[in-house]
Amino acid sequence: MDSSEDKLINELANEEYKFGFVTDVEADIAPKGLNEDIIRYISAKKEEPSWLLEFRLKAYRKWLTMKEPHWGHLDYPAIDYQNIIYYAAPKKKNLANLNDVDPELIKTFNKLGIPLEEQKKLSGVAVDAVFDSVSVKTTFQNTLSKHGVIFCSFSEAVRNYPELVKRYLSSVVPIGDNFFAALNSAVFSDGSFCYIPKGVRCPIELSTYFRINAANTGQFERTLIVADVGSYVSYMEGCTAPQRDENQLHAAIVEIVVMKDAEVKYSTVQNWYPGDKDGKGGIYNFVTKRGICKGNNAKLSWTQVETGSAKTWKYPGCILKGDNSVGEFYSVAVTNNYQQADTGTKMIHIGKNTKSTIISKGISCGHSDNSYRGLVHIGKQASDSRNYSQCDSLLFGDKCGAHTYPNVIAENNSSILEHEATTSKISEEQLFYCNQRGISTESAIGLIVNGYAKEVLSRLPMEFAVEARKLLSLSLEGSIG
């Protein structure tokens, strides 16, 4: 490798995280550690009904019997689960009036570009802002309720729509699904709940914004989305955290239920603090995301742009139960410095004539490791099903790694599966060519990376696409002159 590329990579490595500030708010904080008392404490703080406390305790007991998974291409020291704070909440409670929200919090979300004041609405996106363990504010609730759409914090949903929550909670991700799912089920603090009634096309984009603030705190939020028969919703999720030397655990669950003829688009721009250039600090993002296409002709589409987190362990999946249902997964994962990402999807075909599409684009630079891990399972009953998978890797420099672990199981012979994979490098020749046309190295990388990820970026809602594009350039380019 020549010196210019070396220089470039070094400069990339020095790129800084711009969301690394800490907000000074008074917080209610649980004692460190995890036991049944802590779970009772969380449940009591949230004034939960007894069935939910039972649910948590059951999950906790299950978790105790489970082992932390280490099959991912990830390398991190053992997590001390007794050294984590499982509940932290800004002291003032979630209130309907914005004047009651701590002004420091409003400032924080403004800094992050998430206006909570509805008059400052940004192209009409309803936001549920989650700060540490609790939902701070959900905007546009009035507009939504006119259409019968329920969009609120998880805690509110437990209070106001207990039947809906009870019916669907853990119906897609069982409490014992995996180690982190069990942990989340035991200690989840808040999150977002969304219900789209029959035949309703949700008039605005819904969005949850997660922010970890308190130190030594884990964030365990839970999102539950139910799209009833013939409905449609587009849902976006964003996240950031302060810059800290220690690692923080984020173990969330997202469950999505898509009924007959309904469609859900779920987009994520993940920008948790990735750690510094030497790999110190950063979020462990160990997340379980899954949706079920329950009825016929249901459609679920995951789009993710993953640029943050020190470690990512995440496989948003689709269970295609209804006949003719469709599952999609579009992903761009960027790793830089010492980041490690093990991400991919699971497509479980159960219904007849079901279709799934997987487009995964990994971009690795610095000393990072970027893995795609996928499962496509076409069951016996899933006749005439189709899967198309495309897994591309783009490498920058020669100190990073890209890995692909596709796993395919086909149990009938009327189905068709296709898999394509490519690995390419941003070459010194490409950069020289761009430079010779007057394009700076920084712009050239932006052009190449955005071109490479185009198929995925074009899937994002407009508001998000712009942000994602900037973020991609930011996490790769740095101040190269």
Partner 1 sequence: MLLQIKNLHVSIEGKEILKGLSLNVNRGEVHAIMGPNGTGKSTLASVIAGRDIFSIDGGEILYKNNDISGWSVDKRANEGIFLSFQYPVEIPGVSMVNFMKTAINEKRSYLGQDPIPMPEFMAKMEEKKQLVEMQAKLTNRSVNEGFSGGEKKKNEIFQMAMLEPELAILDETDSGLDIDALRVVSNGVNKLRSSNNAFIIITHYQRLLDYIVPDFVHVLYDGKIVKSGTKELALELEEKGYENFKK
Which residue, 171 or 443, is less far from partner 1 as judged by CB?
Answer: 443
- Direct distance between the N- and C-terminal alpha carbons of the chain, in angstroms, rounded to an integer: 20
């016929």: which residue's tokens? 296
Q: Is 21 in the site for partner 1 (CB under 8 A)?
A: no
Q: Is 443 in the site for partner 1 (CB under 8 A)?
A: yes
Give the interface segment with partner 1, choosing from 11-19, 151-159, 250-258, 446-454 (CB under 8 A).
446-454
The string of DSSP codes covering 339-364 is -EEEEEEEEEE-STT-EEEEEEEEEE
What type of residue is 280? K
What is the b/e burial string over 439-476, where b = at least 16 CB atoms within 10 angstroms of the residue's CB?
A: eebbebbbebbbebbeebbebbbebbbebbbebbbbbb
Give the interface segment with partner 1, choosing from 87-95, 104-112, 412-420, 437-445 (CB under 8 A).
437-445
Give the interface segment with partner 1, choosing from 115-123, 140-148, 304-312, 431-439 (CB under 8 A).
431-439
Taking residue 69's Cβ as centre, other Cβ atoms within 10 Å add up to 12
What type of residue is 192? S
Shortest spacing between CB 443 and partner 1, in angstroms: 6
What's CA 438's distance to the chain center, in Å? Answer: 38
Which residue, 152 or 448, is less far from partner 1 as judged by CB?
Answer: 448
Q: Is 2 in the site for partner 1 (CB under 8 A)?
A: yes
Q: Using CB under 8 A, pick the residue from 3, 50, 97, 99 that binds partner 1.
A: 3
Q: Is 10 in the site for partner 1 (CB under 8 A)?
A: no
Q: Using CB under 8 A, pick the residue from 145, 160, 427, 458 that binds partner 1.
A: 427
Q: Residue 158, exposed/middle/buried by CB under 10 A (0-12, 13-18, 19+)?
A: buried
Give the residues across from 249 on adjacent strands.
284
Q: Using CB under 8 A, pick the residue from 441, 460, 461, 464 that binds partner 1.
A: 441
Q: Is 424 in the site for partner 1 (CB under 8 A)?
A: yes
Q: Using CB under 8 A, pick the residue from 75, 454, 466, 470 that binds partner 1.
A: 454
Q: Is 440 in the site for partner 1 (CB under 8 A)?
A: yes
Q: Is 99 in the site for partner 1 (CB under 8 A)?
A: no
Q: Is 439 in the site for partner 1 (CB under 8 A)?
A: yes
Which residue, 4 or 414, is less far from partner 1 as judged by CB?
Answer: 4
Q: Is 452 in the site for partner 1 (CB under 8 A)?
A: yes
Q: Which stretch of DSSP H or E encloses residue 102?
A: none
Are 356 and 384 spatial neighbours (Cβ–Cβ below 8 Å)?
no
- Two structure tokens written together for 336: 């830089």
Give the interface segment with partner 1, choosing from 234-242, 278-286, 368-376, 447-455 (CB under 8 A).
447-455
What type of residue is 386? R
Give the interface segment with partner 1, choosing from 123-131, 202-210, 277-285, 438-446 (CB under 8 A).
438-446
DSSP state of 395: E
Q: Is 473 in the site for partner 1 (CB under 8 A)?
A: no
Distances (CA, A) of 124 to 98, 135, 175, 205, 298: 18, 19, 35, 7, 26
Q: Is 345 in the site for partner 1 (CB under 8 A)?
A: no
Q: How many CA atoms lie within 13 A of 280 on its CB side?
A: 4
Q: Residues interacting with partner 1, by CB under 8 A?
A: 2-4, 424, 427-430, 432-441, 443, 447-448, 450-454
